[in-house]
Amino acid sequence: MSEIIQFSPSPSLFGFGALARLPEELRARDFKRILIITDPQISTGGILQRVLDLLKHPLRVELFEEAPTEPLDVDVDREKERFGAGFDALLGLGGGSAMDFAKALSIVMTHGGLLGDYVGEGSVPGPVIPVVCIPTTSGTGSQNTQTSVFTIDGVKRGCSSEYVRPVFSIVDPQLTMNCPPVVTRNAGYDALMHAIESFLARPHPQVPERPILYQGSNPFSRGLALEAFRLIWTYFPQAVSHGDDRGAREGMSMGSHLAGLAFSHSGLGLVHALASSLGGMIDEPHGVCLAACTNMGLSYNLNACEKDYAVLGNIMEEENVSGSTRVPPENLLLNLQKLIHELDLPSRPSELGIGKKDAQKLLNNTLVQTRRTKTNPRPLDDQLHSFIEKGI
């Protein structure tokens, strides 16, 4: 255990029009040769061209435009020899998958081997090619985090190292304005659960020292997570239903950005562990899997952090958090289930084709998610299987 809390945020620029500052930020770091990593939707939707128009001589740019939505380790391994060496930076442009692909590629391009060699915490032996991130969704917060997530052998895993935390990011809400409603919904639910699980994470003094800053909840992470939750809860439905609302898009961009910064200093919990396990078993977006696993994960943790559930519930119901009025802690779960229904998300894994016969596999795949479970507020015990079976 450690009494020391470490703060290590990446530099970032935020706001409408912030993208215009990209060239000077690259020049300030003497980055001249850039590999842009993005996905087909961004490549054809106009955002990539806006970035290319900014990056003119003397900057040299190469492109990888095929980042998959839910990357596998073999997707990254296939590309590591494609571009050669000599890049000053890799620029992840898109949603979490494109940014995570850039991080993963920076690892294997720098240190060789296969991506699977670096699974877990602290397995990256040294600095990597610098990664710059420009998110086009309000979801993963990957522009702030030290982890690249991918699927290996049917289980969503991560390479986590402070070496892969982006060197800087630009968060321009304008880039999210044309994000489709379903993508806004799925990414936004991920951001919402980042804020919730970061706030609920096991207290810092109870978490052993680790190679990454998943160090348990602390004053830094809790403040960020609480503000992130307030912003996302306020603006999420409006951003889904009215994507042209600049205020809603700005609120979601800030909320997801703060949530990523929060959980990269605290860690997450059981809902994310369950969702990553579920995501490795079925072909569904991460936000969808999170919604399906919310009730079983938060129900398991309820008795371990009732006061914090009540704090979040108060924000949901616009009560005075510092006053004497306190909603029941169960209201957090009830309000989340109401939101899930309103957004037409699944409320349990059975809605995605998972049956009770799959409970043991889901449990086994969750137990290996130690990056998440070490900071879950309730230690995992023998009762988890019954919660999973009931929750399916």
For range 274-287, the mean pLDDT: 92
The pair phi, psi for residue 152, each rounded to 5°, is -135, 125
Neighbours of 320 (CB within 10 A): 9
Supply the pLDDT for residue 325: 60
Confidence of residue 163 (pLDDT cuts 50, 70, 90): very high
Integer-rounded Cα Rg, in Å, for the chain is: 20
Domains 12-176 and 181-391 share a fold: no
If pLDDT is split at 50, 70 and 90, which confidence band does 260 have?
Answer: very high
Q: Is the pLDDT of residue 215 over 90?
A: yes
pLDDT(24) > 90: yes
Q: What is the pLDDT of residue 57?
A: 76
What is the pLDDT averaged over residues 16-24?
A: 97
Question: What is the secondary structure of 305-333 as a DSSP string?
Answer: -HHHHHHHHHHHTT--TTSS----THHHH
How far is Cα 353 from Cα 292, in angstroms, rounded to an integer? 11
> pTM for the whole thing?
0.95
Q: Give the integer Cα–Cα distance in Å for 30 and 361.
A: 49
Tens digit of pLDDT for each residue in 113-128?
A: 999 999 999 999 999 9
pLDDT of residue 320 exceeding 50, the answer is no
Does domain 181-391 bear CATH number 1.10.30.50?
no
List pLDDT tens digits, range 70-101.
889 999 998 887 887 789 999 999 999 999 99
Whether a cis peptide bond, with omega within 30° of 0, leads into 135 is: no
Stated as kind and residue range, the H or E segment containing 54 is helix 47-54
pLDDT digits 0-9 by tens, 224-259? 999 999 999 999 999 999 999 999 999 999 999 999
User: Is it the case that residue 358 has pLDDT exceeding 70?
Assistant: yes
Is the pLDDT at 56 greater than 70? The verdict is yes
The arrangement of strands across the sheet holding 147-152 comes to 120-121, 155-160, 147-152
| CATH architecture of the region 12-176 | 3-Layer(aba) Sandwich (3.40)
Least confident segment among 80-84, 166-170, 375-379 = 80-84
Compute the distance between CA of residue 148 and CA of residue 318 in angstroms, rounded to an integer.
36
Averaged pLDDT for residues 328-339:
96
User: Is the model's pLDDT at 351 over the cut of 70?
Assistant: yes
Q: How far apart are CA 116 and CA 118, in angstroms?
A: 5
Q: Indicate whether 322 pLDDT > 60.
A: no
Give the whole-angstrom CA distance, residue 59 versus residue 377. Answer: 47
Mean pLDDT of the chain: 94
Domain borders along the chain are 12-176, 181-391
Using the predicted structure, report yes or no on whether residue 319 has a pLDDT greater than 60: no
Q: Mind listing the pLDDT tens digit for each residue in 193-209?
A: 999 999 999 999 999 99
- The mean per-residue pLDDT over the stretch 296-321 comes to 89
**What's the Cα-to-Cα distance from 107 to each of 75, 159, 251, rounded to whole Å?**
14, 9, 32
For residues 313 and 324, is the Cβ–Cβ distance under 8 A?
no
Amino acid at residue number 78: R
CA distances from 177 to 137, 183, 247 (A): 9, 12, 11
User: Which residue would you say has higher pLDDT here, 69 or 376?
Assistant: 376
